[in-house]
Amino acid sequence: MDVELAIKKRKSIRRFENEEVSDILVEEVIKAAKQAPSSHNLQNWHFVVVKDKKTKEKFMEQNVFVQKEICDAPVIIVCCADKEAYSKHSIREHETNMQLVNLSLASAFLVLRATELELGTCFVAWCNKEKIKKLLGIPRSKVIPFVIVMGHPAENPEPRSRKSLGKILHKEKW
Ligand SMILES: Cc1cc2nc3c(=O)[nH]c(=O)nc-3n(C[C@H](O)[C@H](O)[C@H](O)COP(=O)(O)O)c2cc1C
């Protein structure tokens, strides 16, 4: 699949088949994420992959996700940004939240590769990040802007609308 088709095909999938996603496929999407560009090539991102039913039950018990059905996803990828990487290198970019930019780029690569592998994904920010950190032992200093749920799609929703090019494209001047 070429990039143009993957971009066209990707859409948020929130319902999944009750079928395991192999570790090989999970590694494939993380490998795509790690190829993303990052400021100073710091690669200051981490992905905690949750497949264990018991962990998902804990998420459910503790109301980690506002949308309960999220816990039914075969894979929950907790996306973590590491702003400490900047302070260690005396780089002042933590002030501009560049770690979130880097993680977002890597995550975009991840979901496009997942699309190519016929996996469905959805970004989910509507969750209790502090509870996730505690349950998974993620250091407090890491920032979790979102998780990505992933699995074999069990729905095929209509593509969501997009603004026309004219509304966002400014040629030469605003
Ligand atoms: C940063 C981010 C956070 C999101 N959080 C949620 C969420 O908490 N719950 C949800 O159902 N969808 C969430 N979404 C998915 C968006 O609703 C979806 O991408 C948007 O409606 C466009 O639809 P599409 O992805 O199918 O093109 C999120 C998307 C992004 C990029």
Q: What is the DSSP string of 99-165?
A: HHHHHHHHHHHHHHHHHHTT-EEEEE--B-HHHHHHHHT--TTSEEEEEEEEESBS--PPPPP---H
CA of 123 to the centre of ligand 1 (A): 5
Q: Is 8 inside a domain boundary?
A: no
The total of structural domains in the chain comes to: 1
Q: From the alpha carbon of 159, which atom of ligand 1 is closest?
A: 26
Query: Three-class SS of residue 76?
Result: strand
For ligand 1, atom 18: residue with the closest CA = 12
Whether the predicted pLDDT of 29 surpasses 80: yes
For ligand 1, atom 31: residue with the closest CA = 123
- Cβ–ligand 1 contact at 160 (below 6 Å): yes
Give the residue, out of 59, 71, 123, 160, with the most ligand 1 atoms within 8 A of its beta carbon, to mutate for a pocket test.
Answer: 123
What is the value of pTM for the model shown? 0.96
**36-51: average pLDDT:** 96
- Cβ–ligand 1 contact at 11 (below 6 Å): yes
Query: What's the pLDDT at 97?
Result: 85
Query: What's the pLDDT at 94?
Result: 62
**121-144: average pLDDT:** 96
Q: Is 79 inside a domain boundary?
A: yes
Q: Is 171 inside a domain boundary?
A: no
Q: From the alpha carbon of 157, which atom of ligand 1 is closest?
A: 26
Terminal-residue alpha carbon distance, the chain: 35
Where does the pLDDT of residue 1 fall: very low under 50, low under 70, confident under 90, or very high at 90 and above? Answer: confident
For ligand 1, atom 15: residue with the closest CA = 123
Give the model confidence (pLDDT) of 61-115 as tens digits.
999 999 988 889 999 999 999 988 777 776 676 666 899 999 999 999 999 999 9
Q: Cβ-count burial of 53 within 10 angstroms (0-12 exposed, 13-18 middle, 19+ buried)?
A: exposed
Query: What's the pLDDT at 93?
Result: 64
Q: How far is CA 152 from CA 86, 94, 143, in A?
A: 37, 36, 28
CATH code (residue 129): 3.40.109.10
Q: Is 166 inside a domain boundary?
A: no
Q: How far apart are CA 64 and CA 135, in angstroms?
A: 10
Q: Is 145 inside a domain boundary?
A: yes
Query: What's the pLDDT at 132?
Result: 98
**Residue 67's domain spans which residues?**
17-157
- Cβ–ligand 1 contact at 7 (below 6 Å): no
